[in-house]
C-alpha cells in the first residue's frame, strides 16, 4: 500500500498527463466526427447537384432510362442525407446549414423524405409527362429550392 502511494506521488505528473490525454480523446473524436459528417453531407449535396444537371440534360434528349437510373440514385442520396444532420453537427467546418434545421427537425426530415419520394415518383411519371421541363421543375428542382429557402444560409 505504501509502495502504491509513493508510486502515485512520484509519478503524479505522468498520471495527470495521462488523465488529460484520456479525457481529451472523446472530445477530439466528437470534433472529428462532426467535421466528417459535415464534409460528407456537403459532398453528397454537390453530387446530387451534378446528378440533377445530368438528369435534366438526359431527359431533354429523351434518354429517359438513363435519367431514371440517376433519379433513383438521387432518391437514395436524399435518404442517406436524413442521417447526416445529427445534433453535434450544427456549426463550424464551413457548414451552411441554418439553426432552423434542428429547431424544426421533423419538418426538415419530412422535406428530405418528400424530396426522395418525389424522385421515385418522377421515374414513374416522366414517360407520360406532357412537359418534361415542368415535371423536373416540380418534382426535382422545386425540392431543392423549398428546402434551401428555409434551411440553408445565403451563399
Interface with ligand HEC by CB under 6 A: which residues?
Answer: 38, 41-42, 45-46, 48-49, 52, 95-97, 101, 108, 111-112, 115, 140, 143-144, 147-148, 151-152
The alpha carbon of 112 is separated from its chain's Cα centroid by a whole number of angstroms, namely 10
In angstroms, give the least distance from the CB of 25 to ligand HEC.
Answer: 25
Residue among 48, 60, 80, 46 at smallest CA distance from 136? 60
Residue with cell 428546402: 147
Judged by CB, which is closer to ligand HEC: 6, or 46? Answer: 46
Residue 23 Cβ vs ligand HEC, minimum distance, rounded to whole Å = 29
C-alpha cell at 101: 434545421
State the nearest-atom distance from the C-beta of 64 to ligand HEC, in Å.
Answer: 18
> d(Cα 97, Cα 111) in Å, to the nearest integer?
15
Minimum distance of ligand HEC from residue 65's CB (angstroms): 20
Nearer to ligand HEC, 42 or 129 (CB): 42
Amino acid at each position: 500500500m505504501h509502495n502504491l502511494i509513493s508510486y502515485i506521488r512520484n509519478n503524479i505528473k505522468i498520471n495527470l498527463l495521462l488523465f488529460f490525454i484520456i479525457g481529451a480523446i472523446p472530445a477530439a473524436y466528437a470534433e472529428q466526427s462532426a467535421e466528417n459528417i459535415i464534409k460528407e453531407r456537403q459532398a453528397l449535396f454537390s453530387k446530387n447537384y451534378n446528378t440533377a444537371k445530368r438528369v435534366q440534360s438526359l431527359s431533354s434528349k429523351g434518354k429517359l432510362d438513363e435519367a431514371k437510373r440517376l433519379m433513383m440514385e438521387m432518391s437514395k442520396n436524399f435518404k442517406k442525407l436524413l442521417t447526416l444532420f445529427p445534433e453535434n453537427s450544427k456549426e463550424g467546418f464551413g457548414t451552411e446549414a441554418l439553426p432552423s434545421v434542428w429547431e424544426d427537425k421533423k419538418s426538415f426530415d419530412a422535406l428530405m423524405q418528400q424530396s426522395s419520394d418525389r424522385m421515385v415518383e418522377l421515374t414513374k411519371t416522366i414517360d407520360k409527362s406532357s412537359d418534361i421541363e415542368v415535371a423536373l421543375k416540380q418534382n426535382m428542382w422545386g425540392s431543392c429550392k423549398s428546402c434551401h429557402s428555409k434551411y440553408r444560409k445565403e451563399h
